A and B are shown apart, each in its own frame.
Chain A
Amino acid sequence: MIFYLFTILILLLLAPLLLSFIKALKMYLLFKKPVSVFQGYRNFSKLMQKETVISEESSRITRVAPFLVLSPLLVTMFFLPPVVHGAFYVSFVDAFTLTGLISLSTFFLMLLGLDSASAFGGMGSSREAFIAALVEPAMVLTVFSVSMMAGDLGVGQAGVNLAMHFPKAHMASFLFAGISFFILLIAENGRIPVDNPETHLELTMVHEAMILDLTGVYLAIIETAASVKFVIFASLFASLFMPFGLQYAAPAAMLLFVLKLFIIAAAVALIEVNTAKLRLFKVPNLLGIAIVFAFLSLITFYVLGA
């Protein structure tokens, strides 16, 4: 139980760090002077102290929604696969629940964007809805397929099973699911080929457009939600698609897990540096590839058993 809570705490603490790490790595690779990796914490504390201004046009939803954006993600954190051998974990939560919780958070984020009654908010929400609608089927398929390979529909149990006896015979479908999930990780977190988190250019922004009107505490909450979402996806990727190291002693396993998270963050940063942002109407192509791979992984598993 102690490991369980400790893991969640660590993940929460790491969340802003990871995003800042990506940012710093990108700046380093572009020969800029990198920001500190602790910039995320600084932003958070600064925003907490700032005054919160709410638009006159907005309704009650704006006051409630930020919490409703964060809370499903926080709940999801409790359902992640364990990091340390012997730790407590929730075994019965399946792909649908996880996807549903994440979509719930996205839903309130979209509501928040609409509620601000500015043109940007509505635009951002519609774009987000467009992307989310394509991400969800692929997400369900992918996690489902991995759970099938692991022999248990519960994601937590699947993570343990994968780490304990890795299904070597299903390496091919495992690989397809991995490719699909990585594309989803990029798409759902609004990283570069899909959305650029660093710009406020009206033509391109998706996530930023929705939270343009927020200030102070609410902005801090939403930013935290974004980083928590990234850490959820990264840790799902780490425990489902890099399933090794669970059997080590607790500190080593924990350290290895954190290292995996950083590797994933570095991979995302590298992709961001190397690719240009896609036009919004090209995004379905990328997500289409994700869907193809998710489906492929499932049929390869079922038909070929590979």
Chain B
Amino acid sequence: MAEEILFHVKDCALVSISTGVKAYILTELLDHLKQVEIGCLYYHFWARQLRPSFDHPEFHNDFAAWVHRELHDWVLAERLNLIAPHEFHNLEELREELINVLEERFDESGDLPWRKAEKPFYFVKSQIVVIDTGRRLNHPRQLLEVVPSLSQGSIFYHFIDARRRTPERIDDFRAWLSAFSPEYDDLSARLAAIDPYFLTLTEIRNQLAVVFEDYFGENHE
């Protein structure tokens, strides 16, 4: 019965679109945040691993990185960095949280809201093109063979973007394995230990491959 539940392998690519909106100071950033298209939040929180930019392991979203690099406010940068986008039900809730963190910091500090950055924050939004590759998996063991050959777009879609899509806010692999529960609960636990925020997409793929190799190498069926 369980073998009939199929995993649809998908791929995706991202297109970045400038909104023309930029901020030099935090009050500007806050004002724009309240109004910018919600797609900007997806871009600055989720999509950074899929676009041509250095994947800075210290910062998990563009707001934290900008505050750290341009305004040198460690407190705010650390708080922004801790915002985990998958913990919110939708991007509007995420926007709300971001605004709260900024306003709280404004209350604590004197000149920070007006400290001017040398380089502005550019609000960018994205379009994501999702492609059904037509590949279907009917048994978890197939992940062992398929994952090492997945594109970065596929890894992003199934391991990162999924945390926004799935009801449980988890990656697609674990969501699929849960249909076979409890047989693959141990494998799911190992996948849950991979923290995508500290890794590039290539590193995530490598770690996933190791987890599947180890697991199925231990003669699990």
Our verdict on whether A and B bind, yes or no, reads: no
